[in-house]
Amino acid sequence: MAEKQNIRALTIDELKAFFTEHGESAFRAKQVYEWLWKKQATSFDEMTNLSVATRAMLNEHFVFNTVTIAEKQISSDRTIKNAFRLYDGKITEGVLIPTPNRMTACISSQVGCSLTCKFCATGKLDRLRNIDAEEIFDQVALIKQQAEEHYKTPLTNIVYMGMGEPLLNYSNVLKSVEYITSPNGLGMSPKRITVSTAGIAKLIKKLGDDDIKFNLALSLHAANDAKRSEIMPINEQNSLESLKEALQYFYEKTGTRVTFEYIIFKDFNDSLEDAKELAEFCKIVPCKINIIEYNPIDDAQFERADSEKTDKFAAFLENTFNLIVNVRRSRGKDIDAACGQLANKNKAAK
């Protein structure tokens, strides 16, 4: 017998073709599609508006490659870190970040990462595989459920800032955004979604060509090539000059303001000279800047910048260069859920 297909990998047209081929009305495809994406069914038994015979036929041909929560940790600041078990047993991670004004899901696009950024725990892992679009969707759906159950608040924002480099899983990331924003899916606004990249110039341009509607963030962390290459090897193939050109192209195509993320490290990139270089780079497109506190990881060579120095750095950018700047304080540090700390330390991954 042929191996069963993952039903959620099929388009609605492929589902229609399946039903027609098996002597059923093509209308069944719409019913099934709604169960898969709007109602997030995880078995055919849940599809109660289908006959028992139809459900049995579906069960004969298809499987659900669903994601489950293998382990959950709740921080003292209410952040929730999840170890997600994928259908093949691999583990990735995602975080619910509650703040007074928003409820954010931070999700992963790869199991591990291939970029080896020096300050990031995930960068110390091997990249095991890309995460499928439906598995990315599941992370959001599960975290959305947590927000409602734990905090009685709907999910407001999604950031692709967990494990992996989203643009190296380009088609699955875009397809997952389609599922998340579709009225037949979670119905979230693409303006509530931010995809964060370490900076792959040709793929940033491709985002512009594809006229994406979500937000783009660039993990910058240094605004001169020598420093950036020291902490982010990807800069050697994607220089700041090439990123400038790509971001300008992206903005011309989409009209979407870019976010620059800047982790501030003690005695590395925290001087006013560094701030001037950052301002010079950021002037290339309409933008905002997120200054992010560093979260120490095992065997790291960096330390967190002093809070007073961080605030002066941000104020200098705002007051001297009239830039929009936010200082992002760490969340979930006590459970290794803060920015840069996701590294499968949970028991489920061992």
Catalytic residue IDs: 93, 339
**Paired sense of beta strands 62-63 and 68-74, if any:** unpaired
Residue-wise over 230-266: b if at least 16 C-beta within 10 A, else e?
ebbebbeebebebbeebbbbbbeebebebbbbbbbbe
3-state secondary structure of 271: coil
DSSP letter, residue 132? P
Backbone angles phi, psi at 230, to 5 degrees: -65, -35
Please calculate the CA angle 265-81-85 and round it to the nearest 5 degrees.
120
**DSSP class of residue 34?**
I
Residues 6+ apart with CB under 8 A from 307: none
How many residues are listed for the chain in this entry? 350
Quickly tell me which residue has 């109602």 as its tokens. Answer: 39
Tokens of 272: 């006013």
Distances (CA, A) of 159 to 8, 11, 143, 253: 23, 25, 12, 22
